[in-house]
Structure 1
Amino acid sequence: MNALTTTGLGKKYRRKWALKDCSVAVPEGRVVALVGPNGAGKTTLLHLLVGLLAPDQGSVTVLDAPAGTAQTLPRVAFLPQDKPLYDGFSVAEMLRFGARMNPRWDQDLAVHRLASLDIPLDRRVGRLSGGQQAQVALTVALAKRPDLLVLDEPLANLDPLARHEVMRGLMAAVAEGAMTVVLSSHVVSDLVDTCDWLVVLNGGRVQVSGDIEELLAGHRLLTGPVELADGVAARTTVVDDDRTDRQATLLVRTGPQRPVLDPRWHDRGVSLEELVLAYLRRPENAALPKPALARA
């Protein structure tokens, strides 16, 4: 079953489409990297998934029900970039607030998680460090016991150590329970070794959607003499093409078969960051003609 499915999804602000013809499906149990430049429509898509916005076009289904309905709201947790905490509350008061608002609340999980992080329950939220506040916000989201956890730039404005600790805590929570996570970021390095599904959003449209290992296996980086580049490009699907006076570097989509090349060409695999940046540089290209809907 899919954790989320959008079909022809569109959202318009006044005369400008923030999202247009957005079709994507993600199977249950995945950790999804939602990547794109600022203004690509990532936050708009997340708000549509959790029911904070209504679409102007198309449909969005979450956990086999329309997004933002009574069937989905108790099963979805959302952590926006601005970390919705009350500075005047103590940490314990934030947990009591969470318990009042969420019928599936797990108080033991929240208390034990914060104790493991040495975050005192009697400390005012406003007196915590940025990393501690992020951990409290994540704890409130996790204690809801969601089937779908949606995070919008959760590492923004954190120092490198705090970023590492938050991601480590998130991955531990994912390992303990069968939930789907959608993690939005424009910093690809934060997502390496964390996510197993990639969605690239660019200009309000989905460019790439799929299993990260399969996507990486289906792309190669070719480097060779510039005078031979046109011939190689004609035999492959080129995603990105960078040439100097002497050398050409082509990132190509190969599918299961690697291209047979002149010995003067060097052929290697691509990293997640190279793959993402190549597509973002070429908004007209897509990894698939249309994102394939996952099936149960």
Structure 2
Amino acid sequence: MGALLTCSNLGKRYGSTEAVRNLELHLEENTIYGLLGPNGAGKTTLLNMMTGGAFPDYGSIQISGATLKRGETPRGICYVREKNLFFGGAKVIEVLRLASAFHENWNWYYAQSLLKTFKLNPDQKIRQLSRGMESLVGNIIGLASRAPITVF
């Protein structure tokens, strides 16, 4: 089985702070990984580089064999951030529709099944949800995206 995502000699600096240094990482498909470390270890920086939110100062990232180029949005990745940036005035279903536009393998049947399972009203506005229910919307996006790489 080949690597789905590979980071080779990856590095990122913020001023004089080296957030990530000479990282080698190989993630295989159909595997669940956890990224653990103390504050300031570079976890968020790494996730941002893997998902196109930041670009390495050196090294390379390959996704399914294709090298991620500077300024390019990676295909096949769904990044569910810890702090969701949903529009508070939007309804749950509107947020799901928007998310579906970015994921070619989006599964509406699965998204609706998850809404029912968790008793989440698709017509409810995001700002009316508890923090836990808002987080659940992000999880539904991550699962229904059917992206080869989903980062929670």
* TM-score normalised by length of structure 2: 0.90
Structure 1 runs of 4+ with >4 Å offset: none
Q: Secondary structure of 1:132's partner?
A: helix
1:44 aligned onto 2:61: no
Aligned-residue offset at 1:44: 0.4
Write the letter of the residue equivalent to 2:53.
L
Report 1:69-218 matches (<5 A): 69=72, 72-73=74-75, 75-151=76-152
Aligned-residue offset at 1:19: 0.6
Q: Secondary structure of 2:33's partner?
A: strand
Structure number with the higher strand fraction is 1
Aligned-residue offset at 1:18: 0.7
Q: Give the distance between the partners of 2:45 and 2:59, measured in 1 at CA.
A: 14
Aligned-residue offset at 1:15: 2.1
> Do the aligned partners of 1:11 and 1:56 also contact (CA within 8 Å) in 2?
yes
Q: Which has the larger radius of gyration?
A: 1
CA deviation vs aligned residue, 1:138-165 (integer Å, no higher than 9, x gap) = 11122221000112xxxxxxxxxxxxxx
Q: Secondary structure of 1:102's partner?
A: coil
CA deviation vs aligned residue, 1:65-111 (integer Å, no higher than 9, x gap) = 223646x42x1100111123221111111122123333322211111
> Do the aligned partners of 1:50 and 1:67 also contact (CA within 8 Å) in 2?
no
> Do the aligned partners of 2:103 and 2:147 also contact (CA within 8 Å) in 1?
no
Match of 2:15 in 1: 14
Write the letter of the residue equivalent to 1:40.
A
Q: Give the distance between the partners of 1:48 and 1:101, measured in 2 at CA.
A: 18
Match of 2:65 in 1: 64
Write the letter of the residue equivalent to 1:147.
P
Q: Give the distance between the partners of 1:108 and 1:55, measured in 2 at CA.
A: 37
The 1:43–1:112 alpha-carbon spacing in structure 2 relative to 1, beyond 3 Å, is same
> Do the aligned partners of 1:84 and 1:137 also contact (CA within 8 Å) in 2?
no
Write the letter of the residue equivalent to 2:150.
L
* TM-score normalised by length of structure 1: 0.48
Cα RMSD between the aligned structures?
1.6
- The total of aligned residue pairs comes to 149
> Do the aligned partners of 1:11 and 1:55 also contact (CA within 8 Å) in 2?
yes
Aligned-residue offset at 1:59: 1.1
Q: Give the distance between the partners of 1:78 and 1:67, measured in 2 at CA.
A: 16
Aligned-residue offset at 1:3: 1.8
Residue segments in structure 2 that go unaligned for 5+ positions in a row: none
Q: Give the distance between the partners of 1:27 and 1:104, measured in 2 at CA.
A: 20
Aligned-residue offset at 1:137: 0.8
1:24 aligned onto 2:25: yes
Q: Give the distance between the partners of 1:24 and 1:86, measured in 2 at CA.
A: 34
